[in-house]
Structures are given as C-alpha cells and as structure tokens.
Amino acid sequence: MLLNLMEKVKIVIIGEMVHEVGYRVFLLNNSLNFGIDRFNAYNAIEDGKPAVSVILEAEEEIITDFYEFINKNFPENARVSEIKKEGFKGRVMSVEQFMHLAMVEQLDKGIPAILSIKDNTTKILDHTSHIPAIKENTEKILEHTSHIPAIQENTEKILEHTSHIPAIQENTEKILEHTSHIPAIKEDTSEIKNNTKEIVDKLQNKYEELSREIVQMKITLSKIEAKVFS
C-alpha cells in the first residue's frame, strides 16, 4: 500500500499589485477547494517589492496541482510578475487558526476606520452646525429684500420728482448695502455643501470596502464550517 507523502512548502507571489486586492482570501478559498487543511498567508516585501507569502502542508500531488493553479489564476486587479516555491520547515497552522487570525486583523483594521468615521462625522457637524442660522438669516434677508425691485423702481420715480429729499436717498442706499452680501452667503452655503458631499463620499467608499471584505470572510468561514461538519 502506497502512503501519501506530506509536503511543506512556502510559495512567494511577487508583483506590483498583490496587496489590498484580496489575494490572501483568494488563496484561502482555493486551498479549501483543493482540500488543503494547513495554510497560512501574509503580506510581505521581497527584494523591495510587494509580495504575498503562502505556507502550505498537504500531499505532494495536491501542492503540485495548487501551485499550477495559482500560476494561471489571479484575483481581479492583481498584477503579478513572479511566483516561486521553496521548501519549508516548521509548523503550519490549521485553516481554522488562520481564519481566526484573519478576523482579528480585519477587526484591527476596522478600528481606525471607525475612529475616522467618528472624526469625519464630527467635522461634518462642525461645518453644518451653523446652516440653520444661515438659512434663518437668508430667509430674513429675502423677506426684507423681496420688494427691492419695486422699491428701486418707485425710488427712481420719486427721485425724479423729489431729488431734493436726502432722507429717501439715504434709506435706499442702506437697503442696498444690507443686501450686498447675499452672493457671499450663497457662495459659503455652496462650499459647505460641496465639502459635506466629499466627506460623505469618502465614508461611503470606506464602508463599501469593509463590507466587501467582511462578506468575503463570511463566505470562507461558511466553507470551513461545511467542511468541518460534513
């Protein structure tokens, strides 16, 4: 009876774009498909270049098939320039242990994101806290200036016939002076709106990125549970 020989290897994937593209999750999912029970993967730098190192322990034939697969298949958006394999001596953690480690890493990444969301929310509130006052003042200004065209027209007629009345002319100039800052208020309100939209867009993008990673981790965890209890 032939015994299936177990092998331990370290595979290093090098390329311009191998970090932040879901490479470790891609490797984990496919290692499960190949029936590999012991697995570890981590981001690294190899000869000054971004790299992903994956350590496996499995039957020689399975590792050979897996190595051929990852030389032909890559995560979306990944750019790989070299893949190399070498022997490995040492303990290789189980897939379940790697999953726990990966979940802790994701939680660790999420903490700064949550703090950033809190900070950005505070900034939004700081920038928008005075909007009600601007709105109220604008409404008051509009309320007092809605009849300016009629006043201006009537004033011109009055001035034609009563150019000797300084008081009317003085009051008219005051009205025009109080309404001269309306364009500036409109410009400030527009700038606040643009800043708020930019911050909200950044928060939305970060939220979507974290959501995608969490969904991918849940899918992988489901595969592990199915394999363990089957």
Mean predicted confidence (pLDDT) in 96-113: 85
CA 36 from centroid of its chain's CA atoms: 32
Q: Is residue 42 part of a domain?
A: yes
Q: Which of 125, 122, 177 is nearest to 148 (CA)?
A: 177
Q: What is the domain range of residue 135?
A: 110-210
Q: Look at residue 172 and tell me if it is in a domain.
A: yes
Taking only the tens place, the pLDDT of each residue in 68-85 is: 999 999 999 999 999 999
Q: Are residues 132 and 176 in the same domain?
A: yes
Within this chain, do residues 10 and 88 fall inside the same structural domain, yes or no? yes
- Residues 77-104 have a mean pLDDT of 95
pLDDT in tens, 171-198: 646 745 765 665 665 676 677 677 778 8
Same domain assignment for residues 185 and 133: yes
Contacts 24+ apart (CB under 8 A), 140-145: 141/178, 141/179, 141/182, 141/185, 144/178, 145/175, 145/178, 145/179, 145/182
Answer whether residue 134 shows pLDDT above 70.
Answer: no
Q: For 135-159, how does the pLDDT look when each residue is reduced to its tens digit (9 = 90+)?
A: 777 677 667 656 657 656 765 674 5
